[in-house]
Amino acid sequence: MVEPVSLSSYRDDTLWAVVASVGRTTRVAEIFSNRVAALADQAWREQQVKAYANFLRTTRQPMPVYTVKPIRRADLPRSWRPLPALGFLHGKTL
């Protein structure tokens, strides 16, 4: 007989990640406990990129693409830190 899996422990391990991609490089920009918050963060990041689109083109900076994906805590790198939406303005890139 198969034992039932506790949904509370499954939910605790699964997070929602906003993932930034530029070309073949991807990085977890931020993590959230629910999908709605992750989608709101993705929309905010996309708005920030759109607001600076002209600047990005003139400085030949690649525009990041943001997606929302489920991720487990165990899949996060140990040294993971949140990524600013426009990190290149502070010298941080993907």
The dihedral formed by the CA atoms of 38, 42, 43 and 46, expressed in degrees to the nearest 10 = 170
> Is residue 71 a contact partner of residue 34, using CB atoms and an 8 Å limit?
no
- The whole-model pTM stands at 0.76
| Residue 89 pLDDT level (bands cut at 50, 70, 90) | low
> Is the pLDDT confidence value at 77 over 80?
yes
Residue 86 has pLDDT above 80, yes or no: no
User: Does 5 fall in a domain?
Assistant: no
Please check whether residue 57 lies inside any domain of the structure.
yes
Residue 87: band (very low, low, confident or very high) from pLDDT cuts 50, 70, 90: low
Structure confidence at residue 61 (pLDDT): 81
Does a structural domain hold residue 41?
yes
7 within some domain = no
Is 54 a residue whose pLDDT tops 70? yes
